[in-house]
Amino acid sequence: MENIKKEVSLNVNGNDLDEEFSFEADEESLLYDNDNILYADGELLLPQNKNNKNEKKYNHTKKKFNLSKIIIFIMAIVIIIESIPYIYKKFFYKEYENIYEETLYENINANFTDIKVSVITSVYNTEEFVGRAIQSVLNQTLKEFEIICINDGSKDNSLKEILKYVNKDPRVRVLSLKKNGGQGHARNRGLKLAKGEFLGFLDSDDEITPTFYEDLYSHSKDYDVIMGKMASGTNFNRAYKPNPNPHPFLHGYCGDSLWRRTFINEYNIEFSSKRIAEDLDFRTSCYEHNPRIFNQTTEESYYIYRVREGSLCHFTKETIDRNTESIKEYVNKNKNNDNKEDDKN
């Protein structure tokens, strides 16, 4: 028996290992099989001094291979998920399903072309107030108008309330959207449907006094923006209190003004997707193009902004109560002044 050194090439689970190792054996007992693997006395000889190192190397390679498979699998899942809408639209989508995405309701007998004002109203879950808003437009002394209501995915009976007016008056139109996209998005859809010379915006929980649009339109010649007056109110009664006169370049509302439609379209002015202060963004975008502004009407006609709980501005009960008391004081004060004038006469 003698100590023998051999250099052999081994293949362990697909990995070639060139090794030199020593062992005790008779030279006559060494055998090689067809794959040049070394045996002694019928037993497979593996390196004894480097075997652990090679096993670690092999295990590390195996781990890297498994990680690659996991990454490829995850990427395949992501690609499949991203492809589902395209596959659905390509092979399974039916045209009639789009009917439920948006529906335009309008009176088939409507046939008028001389529209002075297109009133755009975004509606979302205001079934209790939307009828009042629409009726305030129908009561206008200016009659050449259209009302475009955008039902912005309401979950209540808002659409049902609006349709009552569509069947009653051909000037009322409704575009009903399946999903809520926000007031800015809804108003932009209304802009695309509008046909009037001027644009007006009325929130579905607000209202306007009967001569509001006639008074604004009377000042419209040679102007692109005509500013009216605003008043504040609540839903506890129909009373309101005029707001202080705003500065035209710091003004954050759209409803108290008329906007020349050709000017708005010329500069592609739209509402932002913000949920709050989209009116201010619209006015700012418009004023960047130097419109001709009439600031402000002298007539006692108003856009009445009614504060309420549950609105986009999230008014608290305390704020609403404060406004209600302020309006009551204003109304009582005016009544006393009127009585004094009557006594003088």
CATH number, domain containing residue 155:
3.90.550.10
pTM of the predicted structure, to 2 decimals? 0.64
Q: What mean pLDDT do residues 103-108 have?
A: 74
Categorize the per-residue pLDDT at 312 as very low, low, confident or very high, splitting at 50, 70 and 90: very low
Q: Is 74 in the same domain as 159? A: no
Q: What is the CA radius of gyration of the chain?
A: 39
196 and 288 assigned to the same domain: yes
Averaged pLDDT for residues 259-273: 96
- Whether 190 has a pLDDT exceeding 60, the answer reads yes
User: Based on the structure, what is the number of domains in the chain?
Assistant: 3
232 within some domain: yes
Between 191 and 245, name the one with better pLDDT: 191
Least confident of 54-68, 69-83, 324-338: 324-338
The confidence band for 318, taking pLDDT boundaries of 50, 70 and 90, is low
CA–CA separation, 208 and 235 (whole Å): 14
- Which of these, 192, 119, 116, lies nearest to 149 by C-alpha position? 119
Shared domain for 169 and 213, answered yes or no, is yes
On the question of pLDDT at 98 being above 60, the answer is: no
Residues 140 and 112 in one domain: yes
pLDDT at position 156 is 96
The pLDDT assigned to 49 comes to 42
Q: Are strands 229-233 and 302-306 parallel, antiparallel or unpaired?
A: parallel
Tokens (6 digits) for 279: 């009116």
Edge-first strand listing for the sheet containing 30-32: 30-32, 38-40, 43-44
Claim to verify: residue 269 and residue 310 sit in the same structural domain? yes
What domain range is 34 assigned to? 2-49
Average pLDDT over all residues of the chain: 76
Give yes or no: residues 244 and 310 share one domain.
Answer: yes
- Which tens digit of pLDDT belongs to each residue from 122-147? 999 999 999 999 999 999 999 999 99
Q: Is residue 282 part of a domain?
A: yes
Q: Report residue 335's pLDDT band, with 50, 70 and 90 as the boundaries.
A: low
Identify whether residues 83 and 38 lie together within a single domain: no
Query: Mean pLDDT over residues 152-168, rounded?
Result: 94
Residue 72 shares a structural domain with residue 26: no
Higher pLDDT, residue 69 or 64? 69
For the segment 299-327, the average pLDDT, to the nearest whole number, is 63
Residues 6+ apart with CB under 8 A from 275: 182, 183, 184, 312
Q: Are 8 and 31 in contact (CB under 8 A)?
A: no
Stretch 32-52: mean pLDDT: 45
> Do residues 217 and 197 make contact, with C-beta atoms less than 8 angstroms apart?
no
Residue 300 lies in a domain: yes
pLDDT of residue 59: 52
Residues 149 and 8 in one domain: no
Q: State percent of the chain over pLDDT 70.
A: 62
**Among the ranges given (41-45, 122-126, 160-164), the one the predictor scored with the smallest mean pLDDT:** 41-45
pLDDT score, position 81: 82
